[in-house]
Amino acid sequence: MLNILLALSLSLIAAVYCWLRQHFRYWERRRVPHIPSTLIVGNIFDLLRYRCCFGEQFERLYNHEAASGQDFVGIHVLHNHALLLRDLTLIKRILVSDFSAFASRFERSDPVGDAMGSLNLFFAEYETWREIHNIFSPLFAHGKVKQMYSLLQEIGRKLETHMHAWNFTDDDACSAIVEVKELCALFTTDIISSLEFGIDANSLANPHAEFRRMCIEVNEPRLKRLLHLFTIFFVPERVQLVRAHLYSKEYEKFMRSSIEYAIAERMRSGNQRNDLIDIFIALKQQAADGAKDSVLQQPDFFVAQAAFLLLAGFDTSSSTITFALYELAKHPELQQRLRAELREALVKCGGALDYETICNELEYMRMVVDEVLRLYPATSFLDRRCTAEQGYLLGQSSNDYRIPKGMPVYISVLALHRDPRYWPQPLEFDPERFSSENRKQHASMSYLPFGAGPRGCIGFLLGLLEVKTGLVHILKNFRVETCSLTLPEMKFEETAFVLAPKGGIYLRFVKDKIY
């Protein structure tokens, strides 16, 4: 009996092994250029072992020797057959020209079991995404963002007050060593809570305030959360089985109560702030008078938008400000040039920059921010899922590979931004790449900090304004320098989805007012 069981077990193992071998020879059988993969884990073994972050994993695949000279290569993300794109023309076709054939992302959440996770612009399937996009794109238009600037200025002044209250060192009463990522996160948390909820989160004054605590909690790399995120991004067909949720129960509860309170309080007071709550109230009235099948009728629709905007808004902007200060500290001559430009603008505007000045007249500020986003793109990789019923033919010949419906394609933004074919000395921080003259030389689609095409980031204007506002209110009072705790070379946190410095960034802030 034991011999029979052993024989059956060995036969089963052999059968599974043979199936896996065949499964992972998918690209080889189709004679498509591919990167050799490992059984079961495919080409993301480094990511699974916390040897790199999401962005670095796709950068390594982009730069793999098997991918050299190829327009695209076959890869395996766990068991999923996928393509990694390397050709700019092909990337433009997928993201822009032939968007209708790649209208949805690969990752998705369960629309029934996780409404808060699935009802937002990032994860929503195409039909739902289109309706949400049409509703919210006016919120991020130039005119609306301009109206929000006064709220950002208010938080900027609070940032200055917070920094002036630091305990400066006894031996040097003009400087303090500060962990920059946390400082920037407090600032952007206060901005998003004000813009979204009309609520003073008070994170700068009280780093343990509830809003800040929730922002930390939602990014905490706990095992259960990592499992859920991994399922959503790489095994989306199993989200119902795992009962994967984009957010924790605590964060969902907090967001529901916050939105309900903010809407009720705004309706009671009748105040107008040109923020997300005003938009929600108008949309609620529209939903009451509109069609029953509208996405606005979904119970968690409004909470879902607020939950994702808080998560996306504070983390990406705070990381960009952090990386900017890090590079400026390492390049004091560039920092001096930026502060000189800022001083001239402050004198012209009487100490408080207006919207047109901060957006359109600080040319070197724009160059610095753009170069930061090249070297450290917040969205370090993009993906799309083929949605065309007949698939998508990559070439002009009938013999070329046809991407089947449902297959994901990936784009390594981090690798594109550091590809020496498009960016000479790509690891060098050089804002001159983005001078007015040099911009004309950039290859189309080689710079994708906010994605491209219809599913590109609609909040990029507001995000850029947040970053510039933070830099203005910091650099007008302080210059930043490296210290003994500063990372000599940047290392990314392996468990973070958005690029984040490993262990934080410590810099010396020296009192040095320019106005």
Tell me, yes or no, whether 391 lies in a domain: yes
Is residue 451 a contact partner of residue 95, using CB atoms and an 8 Å limit?
Answer: yes
Q: How confident is the model at residue 170 (pLDDT cuts 50, 70, 90)?
A: low
Q: What are phi and psi of 254, to 5 degrees?
A: -60, -45
Measure CA of the first residue to CA of the last residue in the chain; give whole Å: 88
pLDDT score of 172 more than 70: no
Cα–Cα nearest to 73, from 117, 128, 33, 121: 33
Residue 61's pLDDT is 98
- How many folded domains does the chain comprise? 1
Structure tokens at 340: 């000189």
Residue at 235 is within a domain: yes
Q: Considering the domain boundaries, does residue 41 fall inside one?
A: yes
| Greatest mean pLDDT among 6-15, 103-112, 295-304, 406-415 | 406-415
pLDDT at 202: 84
Residue 83 near residue 268, CB atoms below 8 Å? no
Tell me if 2 is assigned to some domain: no
336 within domain boundaries: yes
398 pLDDT higher than 60: no
Radius of gyration (C-alpha) of the chain in whole angstroms: 24
Domain assignment present for residue 260? The answer is yes
Mean pLDDT of the chain: 90
Nearest to 211 by CA among 229, 181, 188, 179: 188
Instruction: Please state whether beta strands 402-403 and 392-393 pair in parallel, antiparallel, or not at all (unpaired).
Output: antiparallel
Q: Compute the distance between CA of residue 152 and CA of residue 466 in angstroms, rounded to an integer.
A: 7
Q: Is 6 among the domain residues?
A: no
Contacts of 239 (CB under 8 A, 6+ apart): 108, 109, 110, 113, 114, 231, 232
Express each pLDDT in 469-511 by its tens digit: 999 999 999 999 999 999 999 999 998 888 999 989 999 999 9
212, 186 in Cβ contact below 8 A? yes
Residues 455, 137: Cα–Cα separation, whole Å? 11
Mean pLDDT of 349-369: 95
CATH of the domain at 54: 1.10.630.10
Pick from 463, 451, 460, 457: nearest CA to 96:
451
Mean pLDDT across 378-397: 91
User: Residue 13 falls within a domain, yes or no?
Assistant: no
| Better-scored residue on pLDDT, 420 or 198 | 420
Residue 293 confidence (pLDDT) = 65
Structure confidence at residue 426 as a pLDDT band (50, 70, 90): very high
Q: What pLDDT does 120 receive?
A: 85
- pTM of the shown model: 0.93
Higher-confidence residue of 254 and 33: namely: 33
pLDDT of 276: 81
Domain that holds residue 433: 25-511
Pairing of strands 80-85, 381-385: unpaired
Res 154: pLDDT: 94
Q: DSSP string spanning 277-317? A: HHHHHHHHHHHHHS-TTSGGGSTTHHHHHHHHHHHHHHHHH
